[in-house]
Amino acid sequence: MFKLTKEIILEYLSSIKEELNQDGIVEIGLFGSYAKDKADLASDIDIVICSSESFLKKFRGFESVIYLDDLRQKIMKHFKIQVDICDTFSMNEERKKNLLENAIYV
């Protein structure tokens, strides 16, 4: 049986990073149970992104929500597992710091 690991997830994220950079996503990474090597059968994949001003200008309002949902669906389809995406752009500094120090970026 195929075992999903953080290395496999990070390799995939690395393969789509250039495309995301062109859209204004400056960082993408993994956090949560897969990043900590504590995932089980009920675990989902937790992705963190850092979007830029250019992303918000390119994808205004609801378009940004659609973009992130499309990205979530793309990753879900690839791994056939639930995915959550968190964008740090609008987070307060303390919460962002806590999340970022536990994330593994590609």
Where do the structural domains in the chain lie, given as residue ranges?
A: 6-105
Write the pLDDT tens digit of every residue in 48-89.
999 999 999 999 989 999 999 999 999 999 999 999 999 887
User: Which class does domain 6-105 fall in?
Assistant: alpha beta
pTM over 0.95: no
For residues 43 and 34, the answer to whether their CB atoms sit within 8 Å is yes
Placement of tokens 């793309």 in the chain: 74
Res 7 pLDDT > 70: yes
pLDDT at 88: 86
Six token digits for residue 32: 């949560």
pLDDT at 102: 82
Q: What is the DSSP letter of 24?
A: T
Res 4 pLDDT > 60: yes
pLDDT at 1: 56
Q: Please, how many CA atoms are within 13 Å of residue 97, restricted to the half-sphere of its CB?
A: 3
* Partners of 25 in the β-ladder: 51
Residues in the chain, overall count? 106
Q: What is the amino acid identity at position 62?
A: F
Write the pLDDT tens digit of every residue in 14-51.
999 999 999 999 999 999 999 999 999 899 999 999 99
